[in-house]
C-alpha cells in the first residue's frame, strides 16, 4: 500500500504502519486530505504492483546508516522515530511505533521494487504470497497521537488467506456499522461526551448509569459467595507508590500528573488499583490463618491516551475497572484461580458469549522485560496451566503476552456477529508482594511472602458496555434494559390509569415508564420501538375499564392479552432468568 501511495504521490511522507487487532493501517502525509477517489486509485495501483509479483528484500542497517538513508529520502517522520530510538530507547516509542523499528543497535528495512520502507518485519517473500485484501476506510490522525503535531491521513485495510474469509469479514463489518455503540448509545440515551469536559471522558445518563450499576451488581452477586470484601481507595497517589510497584518505569508517559501548591510531593491520578490494595493488606500484621484476603473494588483509573486513539467507550481516559486482588499462600493459588474462573464462566454465560482462554506467558527470549526470577515464573505459569487442565480447557501458551509482573489467563469472548474481544483476566503475581515487602506469619512462625492474584471479570465497564450495546444491537435482555415496560396511553384520559399501572409495576421491582406526551399513539409506539424496550403496554378505554392489558413483546409480531398479574409474572420471570 505504501509503495502504491508513493507512486501516486511521490512527495508523500510516511509515519507508522502497524498491524492492529483488525488488519493494519498506515499514517501518511500527502499535504492534503485523502478522498474516496484517492482510495480507489491506491487500490488500483496496489493491484498493478501485485500483478508484477515483486519480492520483499530485507536489509539490516546500523542506526546511523538508517537515519542517513531516511534523511536522504526526505522521510522526516521516520528520522524522528529513529532519533528517539537512538537517544531514548524503546520506552520512548508506542507499541505501534515499535512495530516499525528493531532495537537500538540495528534496524531493518524492506525494499519492494523502487520503494524502501522501515519495518521490523518479517514480511512475505513475494507479492504472490499475499492473500485477498481490501482498503476499508481512512481518517485523520495526529502524528504520534499529539494534537500539537501535524495531522496525517490514516488508511486502514485488511488481508486474509482466502476470499471467503475476506467476504465473511466484510459482511461482519457491515453489520457492526449498524450496531455502532456510539450511534446506538446516543439513540438510547445512555452516555454523552462534552468538549468542555474533555476527550475520552464519557458521562453516563440515568439510563446508562442504571446499566452500569446492574453490571456491577451482577459481578458482586457472583463474587460474594467466594468471600470477597469491598474496599475503597483514593483517586490519586504519590509517585512513590508506582515507582515501588514498577509501573512508573513502564508507564510514566501514560500517567496524568497532579501538582500541589501546598506540598512538594508529586502525585498522579491512579492508572491502576493494585498498588493501593497492597497497602491495605500491609496495614496490619497477617497470619497464615487470615489468608486468603480478598479485596474487591469497582473504581475509576485514568490513562493519558493519545487523542487519535480515543474511540467512543472502546478507548477512553477514565476507565472504570471491576478490580479484585487476592493475597494468599502458595498452596491456595490453584483454588483461588478456580473460583475466579467459575465467576467468569457464570458471568459470560448470562450474555451468551462463548469464551476462549489463552495462557499468556513471558517471552523466553526477552527476560529483561519482566520482573522476578525464573523459578517464580515457572511456578505461576504451571498453576494456571494446571487449573485449565482441571476444567478441561486446552489453553495454548501465548509467548510474550504476559504482564510484566506475572503470567495470566486471558478470556476472549465472541459476540453475536462473531467478533472476538479480550475481556476478563486472571493474573498470578509473585513480584508486587516482593517489591512492597508484603508478609504473613506462616505455620512455623516465620515471615513469608503472600502470592497476589489480580482478576477482572468484565475489565473496563466502559469498554464492556460498548461491546454489549453492539452485541445486542441495543435490544438488551429484560434484566439489563434501563426501561423494562413502556406504558403507552392512547389519549390523555388514559393517563391516570397508566400512572397507576406504572406504580404497581415499580412496586414489584419492574422498571416502568409512562409516555404521556401529547402525541399520537403510533408515534409513542414507534418511540418505544426505537428505544428497544422489551415490553410495551398500550392503554385505551378497554384497558382503563378493567379489561386485560394489550401487551407488545419486543421481537414478536402478535400482541398478547394479559391480566396485570400475568404481565408482572412474565417480566419477573425474564428478569430472574436474565433473559
Mean pLDDT of 474-497: 96
Q: Quick one: CA torsion of 17, 20, 24, 30, rounded to 10 degrees?
A: -40
pLDDT of 328 strictly over 90: yes
Answer whether residue 35 is part of any domain. Answer: yes
Answer whether residue 245 is part of any domain. Answer: no
Answer whether residue 149 is part of any domain. Answer: yes
Determine the Cα–Cα distance for residues 537 and 361; give it in Å rounded to an integer: 54
pLDDT of res. 221: 96
Domain boundary among 471, 506, 529: 471
Single out the residue of 255, 297, 254, 302 nearest to residue 276, CA to CA.
Answer: 297
- Point out the residues that are catalytic: 274, 303, 321, 323, 325, 408, 454
Q: Which of 170-174, 248-252, 431-435, 445-449 has the lowest mean pLDDT?
A: 248-252
pLDDT of res. 484: 97
pLDDT of res. 91: 66
Answer whether residue 263 is part of any domain. Answer: no
pLDDT of res. 497: 96
Mean pLDDT of 305-310: 80
Domain boundary among 173, 203, 222: 173
Contact 403, 363 (CB under 8 A): no
393 and 429 in a common domain: yes
pLDDT of res. 376: 82
Average pLDDT, the chain: 92
Determine the Cα–Cα distance for residues 255 and 251; give it in Å rounded to an integer: 7
pLDDT of 113 strictly over 80: yes
446 and 399 in a common domain: yes
- Spell out the residues 6+ positions from residue 560 whose beta carbon is closer than 8 angstroms to its own: 550, 551, 552, 553
Its domain, for residue 73, covers 2-173
Answer whether residue 244 is part of any domain. Answer: no
Q: Is the pTM of this model over 0.85?
A: no
pLDDT of 274 strictly over 90: yes
pLDDT digits (tens, 9 = 90+) for 365-422: 888 888 778 888 888 899 999 999 999 998 889 998 898 788 999 999 999 998 999 9
363 and 404 in a common domain: yes
pLDDT of res. 104: 60
pLDDT grade for 180, boundaries at 50, 70 and 90: very high
Mean pLDDT of 413-435: 92
C-alpha cell at 16: 507508522
What's the CATH number where 33 sits?
A: 3.30.980.10
pLDDT grade for 537, boundaries at 50, 70 and 90: very high
Element (H, E) at 507: helix 495-507
Q: Quick one: CA torsion of 451, 376, 378, 249, rounded to 10 degrees?
A: 90
pLDDT of 263 strictly over 70: yes
Answer whether residue 554 is part of any domain. Answer: yes
507 and 460 in a common domain: no
Domain boundary among 147, 173, 199: 173
435 and 496 in a common domain: no
Answer whether residue 248 is part of any domain. Answer: no
117 and 20 in a common domain: yes
pLDDT over 70 for what percent of the chain? 99
What's the CATH number where 508 sits?
A: 3.40.50.800
Single out the residue of 545, 530, 542 nearest to residue 486, CA to CA.
Answer: 530
pLDDT of res. 54: 92
Strands (E), 313-472: 318-328, 355-361, 397-399, 408-414, 420-429, 440-441, 447-448, 451-460
pLDDT digits (tens, 9 = 90+) for 25-66: 999 999 999 999 999 999 999 999 999 999 999 999 999 999
Answer with the residue of higher pLDDT: 320 or 310. 320
pLDDT of 144 strictly over 80: yes
pLDDT grade for 220, boundaries at 50, 70 and 90: very high
The count of structural domains within the chain is: 3
Answer whether residue 180 is part of any domain. Answer: no
290 and 145 in a common domain: no
Q: Strands 440-441 and 447-448: what pairing?
A: antiparallel
Single out the residue of 155, 158, 148 nearest to residue 34, CA to CA.
Answer: 155
157 and 66 in a common domain: yes
459 and 489 in a common domain: no
pLDDT of res. 102: 60
407 and 298 in a common domain: yes
457 and 311 in a common domain: yes
Contact 421, 413 (CB under 8 A): yes
| β partners of residue 236 | 269
What's the CATH number where 213 sits?
A: 3.30.930.10
420 and 283 in a common domain: yes
* Residue 274: exposure state from Cβ atoms within 10 A (0-12, 13-18, ≥19): buried
pLDDT of res. 87: 85
pLDDT digits (tens, 9 = 90+) for 488-534: 999 999 999 999 999 999 999 999 999 999 999 999 999 999 999 99
pLDDT digits (tens, 9 = 90+) for 548-573: 999 999 989 899 999 999 999 999 99
Amino acid at each position: 500500500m505504501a509503495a502504491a501511495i508513493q507512486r501516486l504521490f511521490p512527495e508523500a511522507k510516511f509515519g507508522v504502519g502497524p498491524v492492529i487487532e483488525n488488519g493494519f493501517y498506515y499514517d501518511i502525509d500527502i499535504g492534503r486530505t485523502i478522498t474516496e477517489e484517492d482510495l480507489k486509485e491506491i487500490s488500483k495501483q496496489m493491484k498493478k504492483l501485485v500483478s508484477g509479483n515483486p519480492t520483499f528484500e530485507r536489509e539490516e542497517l546500523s542506526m546511523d546508516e538508517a537515519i542517513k538513508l531516511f534523511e536522504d529520502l526526505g522521510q522526516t517522520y521516520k528520522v524522528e522515530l529513529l532519533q528517539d530510538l537512538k537517544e531514548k530507547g524503546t520506552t520512548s516509542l508506542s507499541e505501534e511505533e515499535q512495530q516499525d523499528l528493531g532495537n537500538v543497535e540495528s534496524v531493518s528495512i524492506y525494499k519492494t521494487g523502487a520503494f524502501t520502507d522501515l519495518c521490523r518485519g518479517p514480511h512475505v517473500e513475494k507479492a504472490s504470497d499475499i492473500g485477498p485484501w481490501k482498503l476499508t476506510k481512512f481518517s485523520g490522525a495526529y502524528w504520534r497521537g499529539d494534537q500539537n503535531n501535524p495531522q496525517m491521513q490514516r488508511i486502514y485495510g485488511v488481508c486474509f488467506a482466502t476470499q471467503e474469509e475476506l467476504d465473511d469479514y466484510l459482511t461482519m463489518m457491515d453489520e457492526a456499522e449498524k450496531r455502532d455503540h456510539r450511534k446506538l448509545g446516543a439513540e438510547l440515551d445512555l452516555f454523552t461526551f462534552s468538549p468542555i469536559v474533555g476527550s475520552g471522558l464519557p458521562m453516563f445518563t440515568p439510563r446508562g448509569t442504571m446499566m452500569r450499576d446492574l453490571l456491577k451488581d451482577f459481578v458482586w452477586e457472583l463474587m460474594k459467595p467466594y468471600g470477597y470484601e469491598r474496599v475503597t481507595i483514593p483517586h490519586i497517589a504519590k509517585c512513590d507508590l508506582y515507582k515501588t510497584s514498577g509501573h512508573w518505569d513502564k508507564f510514566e508517559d501514560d500517567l496524568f500528573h497532579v501538582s500541589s501548591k501546598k506540598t512538594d510531593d508529586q502525585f498522579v491520578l491512579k492508572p491502576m488499583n493494585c498498588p493501593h490494595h497492597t497497602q491495605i493488606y500491609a496495614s496490619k500484621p497477617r497470619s497464615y490463618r487470615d489468608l486468603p484476603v480478598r479485596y474487591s473494588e469497582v473504581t475509576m483509573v485514568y490513562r493519558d491516551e493519545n487523542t487519535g486513539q480515543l474511540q467512543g467507550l472502546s478507548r477512553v481516559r477514565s476507565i472504570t475497572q471491576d478490580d479484585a486482588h487476592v493475597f494468599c499462600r502458595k498452596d491456595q493459588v490453584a483454588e483461588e484461580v478456580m473460583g475466579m474462573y467459575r465467576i467468569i464462566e457464570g458471568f459470560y454465560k448470562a450474555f451468551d458469549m462463548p469464551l476462549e482462554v489463552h495462557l499468556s506467558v513471558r517471552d523466553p527470549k526477552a527476560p529483561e522485560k519482566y520482573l522476578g526470577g525464573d523459578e517464580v515464573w515457572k511456578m505461576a505459569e504451571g498453576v494456571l496451566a494446571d487449573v485449565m487442565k482441571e476444567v478441561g480447557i486446552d489453553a495454548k501458551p501465548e509467548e510474550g503476552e504476559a504482564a510484566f509482573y506475572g503470567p495470566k489467563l486471558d478470556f476472549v469472548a465472541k459476540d453475536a456477529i462473531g467478533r472476538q474481544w479480550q475481556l476478563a483476566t486472571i493474573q498470578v503475581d509473585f513480584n508486587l508482594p516482593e517489591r512492597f515487602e508484603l508478609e504473613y506469619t506462616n505455620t512455623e512462625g516465620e515471615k513469608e511472602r503472600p502470592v497476589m492474584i489480580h482478576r477482572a471479570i468484565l475489565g473496563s465497564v466502559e469498554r464492556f458496555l460498548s461491546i454489549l450495546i453492539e452485541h445486542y444491537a441495543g435490544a438488551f435482555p429484560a434484566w439489563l434494559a434501563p426501561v423494562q415496560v413502556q406504558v403507552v396511553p392512547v389519549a390523555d384520559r388514559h393517563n391516570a390509569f397508566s400512572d397507576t399501572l406504572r406504580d404497581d409495576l415499580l412496586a414489584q421491582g419492574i422498571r416502568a415508564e409512562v409516555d404521556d406526551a401529547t402525541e399520537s399513539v403510533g408515534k409513542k409506539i414507534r418511540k418505544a420501538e426505537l428505544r428497544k424496550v422489551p415490553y410495551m403496554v398500550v392503554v385505551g378505554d378497554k384497558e382503563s375499564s378493567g379489561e386485560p392489558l394489550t401487551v407488545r413483546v419486543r421481537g414478536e409480531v402478535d400482541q398478547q392479552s394479559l391480566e396485570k398479574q400475568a404481565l408482572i409474572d412474565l417480566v419477573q420471570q425474564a428478569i430472574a432468568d436474565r433473559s
